[in-house]
Amino acid sequence: MVAFKGTSLLALVASLLVSTVIASPLAHAAPDAAVHVKKSDLVARQSSSYWLANIKRQALTNYAPSGYKLYRNVVADFGADPTGARDSTDAINAAISSGSRCGQGCDSTTVTPAIVYFPPGTYLVSRPIIQYYYSQLIGDAVNPPTIKAAASFQGMAVIDADPYDANGVNWFTNQNNFFRQVRNFVIDLTAMPQTAGAGIHWQVAQATSLQNIVFNMIPGSGSKQLGIFMDNGSGGFMSDLTFNGGQYGAFYGSQQFTTRNLVFNNVQTAIFMNWNWGWTMAGVTINNCGIGLDMSNGPANQTVGSVIMMDSKISNTPIGIKTAFTLNPVSVPNGGGSLVIDNVDMSTNVPNAVVNANNGQILAGNRVIQSWAQGRYYNSASGRRIQGGNAAPTKSAQLLDSSGKFFTRSKPQYQNVAVGNFISIRSFGAVGNGVADDTAAFQRAMAAITSGQILYIDHGAYVITSTIVVPPNIKIVGEHWPLIFASGSFFGDQRNPRPFWQVGTPGQSGSVEMQDLMFETKGPAPGAIMMQWNLKSTPGASGLWDVHFRIGGTAGTDLQSTQCTKNPTVAHGANSACIGSYLLFHVTPSASGVYLENTWLWVSDHELDIRPYNQIDIYNGRGLLVESTGPSWFWGTSSEHNTLYNYQISKASNVFMGFIQTETPYYQGNPLATTPFTPNATWSDPNFSLCPSGQAKCVKSFGLRIQNSNNVYVYGAGMYSFFENYSQDCVYPNNCQQHMTQIEGTNSNLYMYALSTKAAINMVTLPNGNVLDADNRSNFCATVAGFQL
């Protein structure tokens, strides 16, 4: 995500947090009385059956300094105390930072990854645990550990993903703060004074996740504690979180985010939405709170772009949702404060479903709300401003679970699988050094793994030179995003595209589960389809979690700033040395039951490993193409900087997308979108026939194309165009490109909610008219609450 002029106007750091949370972040608490415990005793106490704690470690960190260690056990390796008797702050921070990793003064790097494992137990901390870049903090999944803030705790939050220095400057650029995980913890603030304390400061961007975390805070009206503090960023995904007590369960502010399966108990305000461009909330449960969702910040000039609350339940809470939006007089901005309520149960003691900024009732509660919206709403190209009940979408039964909600499935952690059932890719001869050809080893592994086993891909850099066929009924787990490179002449011809990672062959049925993998190219691979999904699966049988596609900009790709630095001052074509792949992800007509969660398809816009992190030009043909009749689900996905389009749904049906995010390549229109990948009618590519010849702002990558499809549901979208050949002069006139979403052909039962675009003259382009940015101005983007066709 790019930094652009004016970001700070929206990134509001609330004054209440400065006084109640940021309490002398650099101060050290007084040491506890000495407690003498043998390290061997601590290691024995923290033993676990969790496979991650016991698997053989043979990671290769090829681009890190010699002797660098990826895996760190905070107890066995660094002496943290799992009994809670001694302060473990220094030990835990040493576990995270050791090895010259990317902390203060380092904006990013992918060469020093770390898994920091916390065995079962209680860890007392008196200062923040600082999460360095490219870190996964993982608690035991069988018996999640507790991180307990001491009564004397000083700092912004127990876990801090982007600290502020003494001058108020962040360690990392918030909208580029990628690649982080925190999962399997209990964070306990109850020993602290009730006037201070936060669980996690989560100021992050794409490819980040929080999962399976409980936040315990002091309950009651006097509590000023909060579970998550998010001041800004550009995410992102979080799921399976529980918040008990406190003033705010989650204090949110970010460009966009997807949150799923969050539970709030006895919180004064479950969710405070400080600002956003768009946010999708699914499966939220709110019990015994004062307010469920407060999105009423800035009544005179709303700071919230849009919120979707869907498939959720609020009970025993006086106010379900509080908003600053008003229909008459028209609240400012016109498209701001958009809200979509979809299948939310407020039938149990929720007298006010929606209130205004002064707590005046807008919508009565004590009922199930099937469909209600406020904001700009469109039937085809005809729009109006609404605040009220809305015809519920006709939902395809194929996309729903047994309770009538859109299907979801959390990332499996296999905590009950014995370590002996994990089979390392190294056992099949894979080298993983970024040089050796590991194609044959991977094929041997795919053929050999049996039911009940899990293929474990140790961290490394694996060069693959022909198609890997992933058979049905296999599970694959990566160790901190091992790099899987498409390389060589086999993938060299865009006139003959070939699958790189092929999930099933047409006609096959079964299940495939994959998680924590990174797919890249090593040099140009213009004929590579990075993942082709052919497999037919029943709902829930297959899925991808935290699987990402990253083209260029990092060590080992040979597509870095040394080869591909931008050159906007000269009119140019595409540098043949800086071409990525043909297509990142293809859901073929034979596929069904595809489930993606927190997947980022990113063509690098800037360097991550070579200072000064220059912007680069990488030319990748296409993003995500869906041609399946489904069902298929895409929760919390992003697709950015692809040449022709970022998302395309073509001759498909039964497709659900729950917040999608895109960016147009920064170099366009120098060259145009038709360079270097020639549009191919066989692949239903855009031909840009709607563009006058040579009009640079028109021949640009589409954020989303939908053609000849039905039963398509887009629940949240943010599609942004920030540049014209690296100039941002078009951002505030909102005319960086002509078209962002194109709908063509014969389509039916198409619904898009909370759709935001930036600097596209036409938000939605239709055969019979367009949805205009100028009619739907929001806080930064243009936003429509709903569109249906």
Query: Could you check whether the bond before residue 412 is cis, i.e. omega within 30 degrees of 0?
Result: no
Predicted confidence at residue 46, as pLDDT, reads 66
Predicted confidence at residue 4, as pLDDT, reads 43
Predicted confidence at residue 38, as pLDDT, reads 56
The H or E element that residue 95 is part of is: helix 89-97
| Domain 7-246 in CATH 2.160.20.10 | yes
Predicted confidence at residue 44, as pLDDT, reads 57
Per-10-residue mean pLDDT, the chain, length 789: 42 36 32 43 72 98 97 99 98 98 98 99 99 99 99 98 96 98 99 98 98 99 98 97 99 98 99 99 99 95 98 99 97 97 99 98 99 97 94 97 98 98 99 99 98 98 99 99 99 98 98 99 99 98 99 99 98 98 99 99 99 98 98 99 99 99 99 98 96 90 99 99 98 98 98 99 97 98 98
Q: Roughly how many angstroms between the first and final C-alpha of the chain, as a whole number?
A: 31
Predicted confidence at residue 17, as pLDDT, reads 40
Between CA 658 and CA 714 the distance in angstroms is 6
Between CA 758 and CA 764 the distance in angstroms is 12
Distances (CA, A) of 650 to 365, 536, 644: 40, 18, 14
299 in Cβ contact with 330 (< 8 Å): no
The SS3 call for residue 121 is coil
Between CA 455 and CA 446 the distance in angstroms is 8
Between CA 652 and CA 745 the distance in angstroms is 12
- Cα angle 8, 207, 285 (rounded to 5 degrees) comes to 85
With CA atoms as reference, report the closest residue to 586 among 619, 556, 628, 557. Answer: 628
**Residue that has been written with the tokens 């039911």 in this structure:** 451
Predicted confidence at residue 387, as pLDDT, reads 98
User: In terms of DSSP H, where are the helices of 519-641?
Assistant: 561-564
| Domain 431-681+696-727 in CATH 3.40.50.40 | no
282 in Cβ contact with 305 (< 8 Å): no
309 in Cβ contact with 288 (< 8 Å): no
Residue ranges of the chain assigned to CATH 2.160.20.10:
7-246, 431-681+696-727
Between CA 65 and CA 69 the distance in angstroms is 9
Between CA 678 and CA 686 the distance in angstroms is 10
The SS3 call for residue 439 is helix
645 in Cβ contact with 638 (< 8 Å): no
Between CA 168 and CA 162 the distance in angstroms is 11
Between CA 473 and CA 622 the distance in angstroms is 28
- pTM to 2 decimals? 0.95
User: In terms of DSSP H, where are the helices of 452-606?
Assistant: 561-564
Distances (CA, A) of 259 to 96, 185, 518, 662, 779: 26, 18, 23, 18, 21
Query: Could you check whether the bond before residue 482 is cis, i.e. omega within 30 degrees of 0?
Result: no
How many C-beta neighbours within 10 Å does residue 333 have?
18
600 in Cβ contact with 548 (< 8 Å): yes
Between CA 634 and CA 656 the distance in angstroms is 6
96: β partners: none
Q: Which pairing describes strands 146-149 and 198-201: parallel, antiparallel, or unpaired?
A: unpaired
Between CA 293 and CA 340 the distance in angstroms is 12
- Cα angle 470, 475, 480 (rounded to 5 degrees) comes to 100
Predicted confidence at residue 693, as pLDDT, reads 81
Query: What is the C-alpha radius of gyration for the chain, rounded to an integer number of angstroms?
Result: 25
